[in-house]
């Protein structure tokens, strides 16, 4: 088992004026903690997969059965800052994936590529969202086709492009891949961590890299209002970090066939954003935090009320047991964040959005 990372996420987060709420240790210490907890050496190299030779050497050296690709720039706002950031997001995300596909073809053609996509690839169509493909009848003829994507940012577009590139590589070269359309992840912990705080992972709360529930919890933890964007009637699929990891494990245990490109929609349940904000407020109240919920002018251009009914049965069929108790999960996040209050306070400016979809930079007002 081995990993590769170029640590660029901490640079991106620093660029938008923030830091992880949870302090994370140096890689050497985390690897040591991993060894102590799991009795196995995790090999690690610092490297950038947008360099083809780095990828090819890694595959040649480790001959992996499975590759979990999480090396993409994951922020919609960051990708919308300006032309340079949109271009960078395309370069980082597409080049890394293309290098992996070519290196897999030539070095480990039987390996399983588990690639992280996003539910945001689909956008919010006025029809049900299947898992990747749908059978249609059009003018009396039938075919099974990729479901049309209507992503809402350049970041989401790069995910769509990657999905198309991977689908093509599976069809052309017989590669096998699982493309996970992941909902919005929140949370600080997974079961395997136990109580070893050295294994803790980062939690971003800034406008660009913080996801909705994590941001709401960070706001509640330091006594700021919880701020849904716009009407707050946007609906999305959500899942706790522990479910995300559980699903990856299930997908890896049952790899696709040769040439198979399969798509899993991965989320516990869909929630309306303002309902989640209320849920965070309720749990925070119990912890004596008493935050307000105040809606902000939406910095994004998106539908604020819409139909949203995505399928999500494939992972359940593989044995996914969702964490339905979202409030317990939110409580755990709040407790972790309260412990790190000063780290959030030091970067509290980064919580309120100023990256706007129209290209201007201006802090959103309360509605």
Contact 334, 287 (CB under 8 A): yes
Closest to a second copy by CB, 161 or 189: 161
Closest contact distance (angstroms) between CB of 56 and a second copy is: 8
Q: Which position among 122, 159, 211, 227 bears the catalytic label? A: 159
Q: Are 322 and 268 in contact (CB under 8 A)?
A: yes
Task: Report, in Å, the least distance between residue 140 CB and a second copy.
Answer: 9
| Closest by Cα among 10, 14, 38, 35 to 24 | 10
Nearest Cα neighbor of 224 from 309, 281, 160 is: 281
Compute the distance between CA of residue 243 and CA of residue 186 in angstroms, rounded to an integer: 10
Residues 6 or more apart in contact with residue 344 via CB below 8 angstroms: 21, 205, 218, 221, 222, 337, 351
HSE (CB half, 13 Å, CA atoms) of 106? 12
| Nearest CB to a second copy, comparing residues 80 and 217 | 80
Q: How far is the CB of 291 from a second copy (least distance, A)?
A: 32
- List of residues contacting a second copy (CB under 8 A): 52, 82-84, 86-87, 90-91, 94-95, 98-99, 102-103, 105-106, 125-128, 134, 136-139, 141-143, 145-151, 154, 157, 160-161, 164-165, 168, 171-173, 301, 307, 357-359
In whole angstroms, give the CA distance from residue 100 to residue 102: 6
The radius of gyration of the chain's CA atoms, rounded to the nearest angstrom, is 20
Shortest separation between residue 260's beta carbon and a second copy, angstroms: 16
Considering beta carbons, is residue 7 or 138 the nearer one to a second copy? Answer: 138
Q: Is 307 a catalytic residue?
A: no
Question: Of 78, 122, 155, 261, which is the active-site residue?
Answer: 155
Q: How far is the CB of 16 from a second copy (least distance, A)?
A: 19
Sign of CA dihedral 322, 327, 328, 330: positive
Residue closer to a second copy by CB (options 26, 139) is 139
At its nearest, how many Å lie between a second copy and the CB of residue 251?
24
Active site residue 155: yes
118 noted as active-site residue: yes
Spatial distance between the Cα atoms of 146 and 163, rounded to a whole number of angstroms:
10
Q: Which residues contact 32 (CB under 8 A, 6 or more apart)?
A: 198
The CA distance from 239 to 315, in Å, is 13
- By beta-carbon proximity to a second copy, the closer residue of 69 and 202 is 69
SS3 16: coil
Nearer to a second copy, 159 or 347 (CB): 159
Catalytic residues: 118, 155, 159
């Amino acid at each position: 088992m081995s990993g590769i990372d170029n640590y660029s996420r901490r640079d991106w987060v620093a660029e938008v004026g923030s830091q992880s709420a949870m302090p994370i240790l140096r890689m050497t210490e985390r690897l040591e903690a991993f060894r102590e907890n799991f009795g196995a050496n995790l090999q690690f190299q610092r490297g950038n997969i947008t360099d083809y030779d780095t990828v090819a050497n890694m595959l040649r050296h480790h001959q992996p059965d499975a590759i979990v690709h999480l090396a993409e720039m994951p922020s919609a706002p960051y990708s919308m800052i300006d032309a340079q950031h949109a271009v960078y997001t395309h370069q980082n995300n597409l080049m890394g994936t293309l290098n992996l596909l070519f290196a897999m073809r030539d070095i480990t053609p039987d390996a399983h590529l588990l690639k992280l996509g996003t539910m945001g690839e689909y956008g919010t169509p006025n029809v049900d969202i299947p898992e990747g493909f749908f059978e249609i009848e059009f003018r009396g003829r039938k075919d099974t086709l990729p479901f049309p994507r209507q992503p809402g940012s350049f970041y989401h577009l790069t995910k769509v492009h990657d999905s198309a590139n991977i689908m093509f590589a599976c069809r052309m070269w017989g590669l096998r891949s699982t493309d996970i359309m992941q909902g919005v992840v929140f949370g600080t912990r997974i079961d395997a961590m136990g109580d070893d705080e050295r294994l803790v992972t980062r939690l971003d709360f800034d406008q660009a890299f913080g996801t909705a529930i994590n941001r709401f919890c960070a706001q509640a933890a330091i006594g700021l209002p919880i701020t849904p964007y716009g009407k707050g009637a946007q609906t999305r699929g959500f899942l706790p970090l522990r479910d995300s990891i559980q699903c990856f494990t299930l997908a890896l245990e049952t790899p696709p066939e040769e040439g198979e490109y399969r798509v899993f929609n991965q989320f516990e349940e869909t929630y309306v954003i303002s309902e989640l904000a209320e849920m965070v407020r309720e749990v925070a109240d119990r912890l004596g935090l008493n935050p307000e919920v105040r809606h902000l002018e939406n910095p994004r251009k998106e539908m604020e009320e819409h139909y949203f009914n995505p399928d999500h049965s494939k992972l359940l069929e593989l044995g996914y047991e969702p964490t339905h108790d979202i409030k317990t999960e939110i409580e755990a996040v709040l407790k972790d964040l309260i412990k790190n209050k000063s780290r959030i306070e030091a970067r509290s400016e980064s919580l309120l959005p100023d990256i706007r979809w129209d290209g201007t930079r201006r802090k959103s007002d309360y509605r």
